[in-house]
Structure 1
Amino acid sequence: MTRIQHTVSFRLVHAPDSVEERLFLDDARAALASIPGVEDFRISAQISAKSDLAFQFSMEFADQAAYTAYDQHPTHVSFVAERWTSEVEAFQEYDYVAL
């Protein structure tokens, strides 16, 4: 079984430390971490001046089937359509498996 670490680094359209920023992060945690198969959901803040992407979501999946189920889950699809596309200004997505 190959575990997958799914990560996405991003910058929001909201002002830093704003109510809107906090609501987005809180709502993302509540929605995405609740999806079956999501393990070890984390939100991290960028501290390096080398990147303008301010946050990262990271989560793990037991295997490709769990990751695919997450990606197609109505909660994920809805969050992307209703929040992500209008509130995220830039992002990079990375998916890793251990070597």
Structure 2
Amino acid sequence: DDAIRANALMCHVIAEAVLEGRYVSNKRNPQAAPAKRSAEDEAAFAAAQAEARRQAAAAQAERDARVAAAKATPEADAETEPVAAETESTETPAES
């Protein structure tokens, strides 16, 4: 029970030290305010985002098509395998 309290106390002390370190760091090196975008910059950003979304959608469609093709291929193989197995079983008695 004492070990649990000691561990909790150590964790609390370390957490306080981390928070204090972050506070001191932010006071020494304040973060710069985010730059405001002009209307032209905002339009260019929106166009770039739209293009990126279009490319991502096209890439996802290609992946979906490959997955669908991969799923269709084993089904086609499964349909032909029993036929091949039947052919092999009929050939085996003829050889003996």
TM-score range, shorter chain: under 0.3
- Higher relative contact order at CA 8 Å, sep ≥6: structure 1 or structure 2? 1
Larger helix fraction of residues: 2
The alignment's TM-score, normalised by the length of structure 1, stands at 0.21
The structure number with the bigger radius of gyration is 2
